[in-house]
C-alpha cells in the first residue's frame, strides 16, 4: 500500500505563511520592520515644539531636554482657551465723577431715618383726637412705673391719668405704646379705677385677647382683678374656646386663665367645647329632663 503524505489543515480564515511573516524579522536580511516617515519638503518651514526643543547632549547628561528661554521680542502664542485681551482685562479705574454719581443714587441712612420720623409725626398729628392724650399719658406712665415713686405721688398721678383716659380706653387699647399705659393703670389702680376700665372693655375681651399688644390688658385683669371680673372674663370665652386655642396670641390667655385662675366649674365650661356637638346636644336634653 502506498502511504500518502500528511497535509497541513488550513482553514478559511487562516493567513498564508507569507502574510504571517510580513511583520516579523527576516533572519536572512537582519533588518527589522520599518514604517514610512513623513517626508519634509525642501525649502519648507521646519516644525519645532512650542514649549521646548531638543538640545545637544551634554557630557554626563545624555538626552536631557532643556526648555527654551524666552527672549525679548518673542510673542506668546495664543491659547484656544485664553484669547488675547478677552479674559485678562484689568478693571479700569473710574474717575471721581462716576463714583460721585453712584454715591448720590444711594440714600443716606440718617436722611432716610429723619424722613421716616417726620412722616410718622405727620400721620399722628393728622389724627389729633388721641395724639395729645397718648403723649401726656406716656409722660405720666414714665414716672408712675418707676420703683422709686412714692405712694402719695403715685395716687396723685393715678387720679390725673384717670381723668385723662376716662372714656377713651377702648380706642387706645390696641396700640403698642398706649396699651402699656393701660396695663400700668390696671396694676397700680384701686378697685374703682379697675372697675371703670373693665366696664369700658367688657364687650371686647375676645378681640383684645387676639391682638398682639392688647392681650396683656386681659392678662392684667386676670392677675389683679377681683373674682367677679375674672368670672366675667372666663364667661366671655364661652363659644370661642376652640378658635382661641388655635390662635397664636389668644391661646396663651386661655391657658393662663385655665391653669391659674379658673375654678373647677369654670374649667369644665372651657373644656366642654372640645368634646364636640353630640356632647352639647345631650347636655341640653338632660337639662330639659331635670327641669320637668
Beta-carbon contacts of residue 139 (< 8 Å; ≥ 6 apart)? none
Contact 137, 181 (CB under 8 A): yes
pLDDT tens per residue across all 292 residues of the chain = 455 555 555 555 555 555 555 554 445 445 555 555 555 555 555 555 545 444 445 555 555 555 555 555 555 555 555 554 555 556 655 555 555 555 556 667 888 888 888 887 777 666 666 788 889 999 999 999 998 888 899 999 999 999 999 988 998 999 888 999 999 999 999 999 999 999 999 999 999 999 999 999 999 999 999 999 999 999 999 989 999 999 999 999 999 999 999 999 999 999 988 888 888 788 888 888 887 6
The 3-state DSSP class for residue 211 equals coil
Q: How far apart are CA 5 and CA 105, in angstroms?
A: 108
Helix (H) or strand (E) holding 52: strand 52-53
Beta-carbon contacts of residue 40 (< 8 Å; ≥ 6 apart)? 46
CB count within 10 Å of CB 230 equals 18
Q: Can you tell me which residue has the cell 381723668? A: 163
Q: Distances in Å between the alpha carbon of 169 and those of 82, 179, 208, 224?
A: 76, 9, 12, 18
Give buried/exposed letters for 77-112 (b at 16+ CB in 10 A, else e). eeeeeeeeeeeeeeeeeeeeeeeeeeeeeeeeeeee
Q: Which residue blocks in the chain are alpha helix, DSSP H?
A: 17-20, 96-105, 109-126, 128-144, 151-165, 169-172, 178-188, 191-201, 205-210, 215-224, 227-236, 241-245, 250-256, 264-271, 277-291
Q: CB-side exposure of 69: number of CA atoms within 13 Å?
A: 2
DSSP code string of 272-290: GGGG-HHHHHHHHHHHHHH
Whole-model pTM above 0.75? no
Q: How far apart are CA 191 and CA 194, in angstroms?
A: 5
State the Cα angle at 223 between 222 and 225, rounded to 5°: 65
Amino acid at each position: 500500500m502506498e502511504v500518502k503524505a500528511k497535509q497541513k489543515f488550513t482553514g478559511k480564515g487562516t493567513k498564508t505563511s507569507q502574510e504571517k511573516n510580513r511583520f516579523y524579522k527576516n533572519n536572512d536580511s537582519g533588518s527589522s520592520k520599518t514604517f514610512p516617515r513623513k517626508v519634509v519638503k525642501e525649502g519648507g518651514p521646519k516644525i519645532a515644539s512650542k514649549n521646548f526643543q531638543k538640545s545637544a547632549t551634554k557630557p554626563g547628561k545624555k538626552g536631557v531636554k532643556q526648555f527654551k528661554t524666552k527672549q525679548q521680542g518673542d510673542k506668546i502664542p495664543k491659547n484656544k482657551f485664553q484669547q488675547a485681551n478677552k479674559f485678562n482685562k484689568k478693571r479700569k479705574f473710574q474717575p471721581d465723577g462716576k463714583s460721585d454719581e453712584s454715591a448720590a443714587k444711594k440714600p443716606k441712612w440718617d436722611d432716610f431715618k429723619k424722613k421716616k420720623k417726620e412722616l410718622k409725626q405727620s400721620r399722628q398729628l393728622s389724627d389729633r383726637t388721641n395724639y395729645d392724650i397718648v403723649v401726656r399719658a406716656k409722660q405720666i406712665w414714665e414716672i408712675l412705673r418707676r420703683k422709686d415713686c412714692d405712694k402719695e405721688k403715685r395716687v396723685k398721678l393715678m387720679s390725673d391719668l384717670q381723668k385723662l383716659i376716662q372714656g377713651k380706653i377702648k380706642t387706645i387699647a390696641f396700640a403698642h405704646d398706649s396699651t402699656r399705659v393701660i396695663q400700668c393703670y390696671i396694676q397700680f389702680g384701686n378697685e374703682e379705677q379697675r372697675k371703670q376700665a373693665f366696664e369700658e372693655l367688657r364687650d371686647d375681651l375676645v378681640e383684645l385677647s387676639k391682638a398682639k399688644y392688647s392681650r396683656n390688658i386681659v392678662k392684667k385683669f386676670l392677675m389683679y382683678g377681683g373674682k367677679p371680673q375674672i368670672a366675667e372674663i372666663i364667661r366671655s370665652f364661652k363659644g370661642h374656646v376652640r378658635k382661641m386655642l388655635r390662635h397664636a396670641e389668644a391661646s396663651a390667655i386661655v391657658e393662663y386663665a385655665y391653669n391659674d385662675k379658673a375654678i373647677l366649674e369654670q374649667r369644665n365650661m372651657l373644656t366642654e367645647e372640645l368634646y364636640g356637638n353630640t356632647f352639647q346636644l345631650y347636655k341640653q336634653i338632660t337639662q330639659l329632663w331635670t327641669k320637668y
